[in-house]
Amino acid sequence: MLKWIRPSGALAFIVVILAIGLFWWLLSDWLLKVSIEAAGSKIVGARVELASADVTFNPLGFQLDGLQVTNPKQPMQNLIQLENAKGSLDLLHLLMGQVIVEEMSATGVRLNTERKVSGEIKEKKSKHKDQQKSGDQAGEKEPERSTLAVVKEKLPSLDEILAKEPLGTLDQIKTFDEKSKSDRVTFEKSVATLPDEAKLKQHQESIKTLTQSKINSPQELKQRKQDLDKLKVAIRKDRDAIQTMRDQLKNARSDLAKRYNDLKNAPSEDWNRLKSRYQLNASGAGNVTRMLFGDSAQVWLTRVLAWAEQAQKFMPRGGDKDSKATAPKRREGRQIHFPTSNPLPDFLIRKAVLTMEVPAGAFDLQLTNVTHQPHIFGKPMRLFAQGTKLRNAEQIKIDGVFDHVKPEQAKDSINWLLNGVSITNIPVSKNAKLPIEISSTRANFSGDLILKDQAIDANAKSEFKDTTWNTNKGEGSESKLAKLVTAIHDFNINGKLTGKLSAPDISLNSNIEDQLKQALGAEVKATQSDLEKKFKARLNKEIETAAGQYKDQLAFLTDKGKTLDQRIDALNKMLTTEIKSAAETKKQEARDKLKDSAKEKLKGLKF
């Protein structure tokens, strides 16, 4: 049996093992660095860089310096960056293939920092370009999205209105003029057909002849009476015709007066119709919030979605219970887990304390139960942060639970509260026509976010007090709007995010709109009033030409009416004429004489 044993072999084995051990010990730092960079880049989909890594063996642990995790959607920005992280590892579990970090601390943690070089992974460049082409609208560079197109309806000039809008006044002026002219022609023709002065004279002569010439016999008297009756019939006919024409002239006069009155009211009617179209209404002022803060909201939305997307990669969703369902990796296999009293996943950070560096100051963020296999561990990941007396804020409190213990019922929720945050020099609108920046303000932020079944439901409230603004001169109505906005010092903005995580809807509202409505309303009212005066004055000037026509027409109708009245009176007088006998004539003459003498005598008496 002993002849089968090679003692030098045992020695050689020990030497080989020691050599491998030495190799690992010497290269462990480099191997850890390379492993984290490779695995991290694969998971995130963008470059993960580490300045240096250090493995400690007693106790077993690690120290990482200068970690940068690129945002895959924005390769020139980091999702997260930290200066230093250290933690301790459980050796036994590490040998079992499980990375269990009991406690980890990280300092200098910053979010969304700028990179010096792009962190895009080369083979993903074409895919990234395709995503951009297909309209990845979560990007920051979307200045055109919230332009002033929403406040397009500025008040036009008077000439623009008169050129563009159909006006009833001008149509009525034309109609009035035409009708007046046609009526005049018609009436003149009609009056010309009536019995004129010559005819009347003729009738009078006939009556004189019949009534004043001597009657020699009763038969002649009878004949004369008959002739007079015939004449009266003719006179009556002529009188009726003139009366009819006179009535028509009367109606024409009242119609003319009415039409002229309508014409005078036409400018007001036109103005009332146009007023509603050119008034700056609530919807216009309501879009100001989106116009001013839409860009910034889009930036924050991009960041939130990027984080949510990365978190989704790390956390299992429904139907992804364990590695049994996933395709096995070459030369790696799958871990099958069995029931145990203390189940542990393949990777777990029990407690991590991150010292976050934000513009408001530094605060500690505590994470517990960080693992990509919460369904094995049985506990959800929790996030908690609290800070008071920060450099530029009074209080910060963040509380979150990422419950993926049952992947099919996965639910992530975060609540946040930031009070008394001092903010300076924050660009609000980068629109070229209306660049506005908050110079300084004190703000309170609060909100909640729930992510469930690939849908997001988030509410964010913010209050801004003692706000001062910076704005360069805009153009035209934008300049006016900028002036109005910068007069507002206290306002709030509320945002709501709902819908699918891949394409959520964002809505913003703010009491800036109410304040702007009031300010704009007064300004618009004054401008409208001025425009109204000019509008009516211009149209009234047009109506003056019709006024002349009216006066002429009225005078014409009046004159003709008077003339016809005179003729009617004359004809009526003619109709009262009677033929009398000689005796009756003498009787009448005697009576007339008696009357005259009685009058003379009574004149001399005094009572």
Partner 1 sequence: MLNSIAKLLKLLNAETNPSQLSMGFAVGMIIGLTPLWSIHNLVLAFFVFLFRVNLSAFILSFTIFSGIAYLVDPVMDQVGGNLLTSPSLHEFWTSLYNQPFWRLTHFNNTLTLGSLVIAIVLAIPFFFISNFIIRKYRQHLLAWVRKSKLVQLIKASKIYRIYNALAGNS
Site membership for partner 1, residue 325 (CB under 8 A): no
CA distance 188 to 412: 93
Bridge partners of 427, per DSSP, are 437
DSSP E strand stretches across 155-219: none
Site membership for partner 1, residue 96 (CB under 8 A): yes
Cβ atoms 102, 351 nearer than 8 A: yes
Judged by CB, which is closer to partner 1: 90, or 295? 90
Among 116, 189, 214, 331, binds partner 1 (CB under 8 A): 331
Closest separation between CB of residue 368 and partner 1, Å?
A: 25
Judged by CB, which is closer to partner 1: 337, or 351? 337
Nearest Cα to 383, choosing from 401, 369, 395, 370? 401
Site membership for partner 1, residue 276 (CB under 8 A): no
Nearest Cα to 524, choosing from 473, 488, 480? 480
Closest separation between CB of residue 328 and partner 1, Å?
A: 5
Can you say how many angstroms the Cα of residue 109 is from the centroid of all Cα atoms in its chain? Answer: 40
Neighbouring residues of 173: CB distance < 8 A, sequence distance ≥ 6: 263, 266, 542, 543, 545, 546
Neighbouring residues of 314: CB distance < 8 A, sequence distance ≥ 6: 43, 372
Judged by CB, which is closer to partner 1: 5, or 192? 5
Q: Which of residues 6-45 bind partner 1 (CB under 8 A)?
A: 6, 9-10, 12-13, 16
Region from 95-103, 388-396, 433-441, 552-560 binding partner 1, contact rule CB under 8 A: 95-103
In angstroms, the Cα distances linking 125 to 44, 70, 457 are: 14, 14, 32
Closest separation between CB of residue 293 and partner 1, Å?
A: 53
Bridge partners of 74, per DSSP, are 71
- The H or E element that residue 505 is part of is strand 505-510
Site membership for partner 1, residue 3 (CB under 8 A): yes
Closest separation between CB of residue 22 and partner 1, Å?
A: 16
Region from 102-110, 179-187, 336-344, 461-469 binding partner 1, contact rule CB under 8 A: 336-344
Site membership for partner 1, residue 92 (CB under 8 A): yes
Closest separation between CB of residue 92 and partner 1, Å?
A: 6
* Max CA pair span of the chain: 196
Closest separation between CB of residue 18 and partner 1, Å?
A: 13
Closest separation between CB of residue 339 and partner 1, Å?
A: 6
CA distance 42 to 128: 15
Cβ atoms 557, 252 nearer than 8 A: yes
Among 4, 134, 389, 596, binds partner 1 (CB under 8 A): 4
Site membership for partner 1, residue 332 (CB under 8 A): yes
Q: At 414, phi and psi to the nearest 5?
A: -135, 140
Site membership for partner 1, residue 328 (CB under 8 A): yes
Closest separation between CB of residue 90 and partner 1, Å?
A: 11
Judged by CB, which is closer to partner 1: 7, or 319? 7
Among 58, 95, 122, 212, binds partner 1 (CB under 8 A): 95
Can you say how many angstroms the Cα of residue 25 is from the centroid of all Cα atoms in its chain? Answer: 65
Judged by CB, which is closer to partner 1: 102, or 523? 102
Among 122, 164, 330, 603, binds partner 1 (CB under 8 A): 330
Site membership for partner 1, residue 334 (CB under 8 A): yes
Bridge partners of 363, per DSSP, are 356
Neighbouring residues of 227: CB distance < 8 A, sequence distance ≥ 6: 210
CA distance 45 to 5: 53
Site membership for partner 1, residue 324 (CB under 8 A): yes
DSSP E strand stretches across 191-294: none
Judged by CB, which is closer to partner 1: 97, or 319? 97
Binding mask 339-358 for partner 1 (x = CB under 8 A): xxx-----------------
Region from 93-101, 106-114, 217-225, 385-393 binding partner 1, contact rule CB under 8 A: 93-101
In angstroms, the Cα distances linking 242 to 112, 231, 563, 576 are: 99, 17, 10, 18
How many residues touch partner 1 under the rule CB under 8 A: the total is: 27
Among 337, 397, 461, 480, binds partner 1 (CB under 8 A): 337
Region from 77-85, 137-145, 327-335, 579-587 binding partner 1, contact rule CB under 8 A: 327-335
Closest separation between CB of residue 7 and partner 1, Å?
A: 8
Closest separation between CB of residue 14 and partner 1, Å?
A: 9
What own/partner pairs with CB < 8 Å and gap ≥ 24 does 516-522 have?
516/285, 516/288, 516/481, 516/484, 516/485, 516/488, 517/282, 517/285, 519/484, 519/487, 520/280, 520/285, 520/484, 521/280
Closest separation between CB of residue 4 and partner 1, Å?
A: 5
Footprint of partner 1 (CB under 8 A) = 3-6, 9-10, 12-13, 16, 92, 95-97, 324, 328, 330-341
